[in-house]
Amino acid sequence: MRFLKEPDYSHGKIGKTAVVLINLGTPDAPTRPAVRRYLKQFLWDRRIVEVPRAIWWLILHGIILPFRSGQSAKKYTSIWTNDGSPLKVHTEKQAVLLKGYLGERGHEVHVTYAMRYGTPSIPDVLQKLKADGYDRLLILSAYPQYSATTTGSNFDAVFSHYQQVRNIPELRLVKNYHDHEAYIEALRLSVLASWQTNGRPEKLVMSFHGLPKAFLLRGDVYHCECYKTARLLAEKLGLSKDQYIVTFQSRLGKAEWLQPYTAPTVTQLAKDGVRRVDVICPGFIADCLETLEEIAMEVRADFLQAGGKEFNYIPCLNESPSWLRALAEIAEQHLIGWPTMLTVSMREEQKQQALLSRAEAKRMGANQ
């Protein structure tokens, strides 16, 4: 069938609202087979790699998956916790806490999470919400800065799923929040908390996930939004231009990516006599492989080997109260107009209307 089976319909059903927090995803286990499955899905996304499919299929299956899966599995093993993947653990906790913070603001909404690659998948989560009667959905990506490769890909997955759905729920999509005041404030408090404990560095490095330079030249706004986030954070911290630097990490392949690259830049700082650097990753709202292994382990080692004396990684926002308040504020701004803040009398009226609708449907059925 072209369309998925719809759940049974009942007259007078009270509409419900849900927020879906979508993050990138993670392998189900730090093993070669699990990592291979994850990388296969991730790297086959046309938003991620804009190479002709036939050529890319050969590269992916002939070179990348056979060799990179094992290497990546070892890296995942180094950060894996008793509860599982850090990214999944943090994302799940954020969804639970976000529901609580929105509840404190008076919103009666369900909050869940999905992964663009891996589990729980976007289609599975959206279908479960439909089965549970949610007919208003706010799609909230875990990427403050918009890119076609991240938020755009999330939207692709949502739209692709609803091409198979007959009765589509009302949808709202959050594109970005890179310059949202509450997000910037959460970052500021995170940096200040680290400095209060560890002291201030000579240089603050703001490392964002990389992107092929070609994507920028084709119109992706990610580069500009990263620099705006960095500028706003630096202003809030009272930093001059020579006290911080913006870099880009996680380069893949031989093509030119956004520069300056994080690892070579931090290494050069050490060679230039900088004794202490702090690195923060503002584009990640949850710690993951790219922050815990690439930055806190690999880049740290590069800096110390090059002569640096002290390297401090500032953790992602994760479950910090300032960030959850910010996330609730961001979600709330996009929930405006939906009936999520009902008084007791409004709820009672809604229930009465539902009962009347059911009675009317029953009466109409009896008369046919």
- Binding residues for Fe(2+) are 209, 290
Annotated binding site: 209, 290
Buried b (16+ CB within 10 A) or exposed e, 105-118: eebebbbbbbbbbb
Name 250's Cβ contacts closer than 8 Å, sequence gap at least 6: 209, 210, 290, 294
Going by C-alpha positions, the residue among 110, 101, 102, 117 that lies closest to residue 135 is: 110
Q: CA torsion, points 324, 329, 334, 336, in degrees to nearest 10?
A: 130
* Phi, psi of 22, deg, nearest 5: -110, 125
- At 276, the amino acid letter reads R
Q: Which residue reads 């299956």 in tokens? A: 61
From CA 174, how far away is CA 7, in angstroms rounded? 27
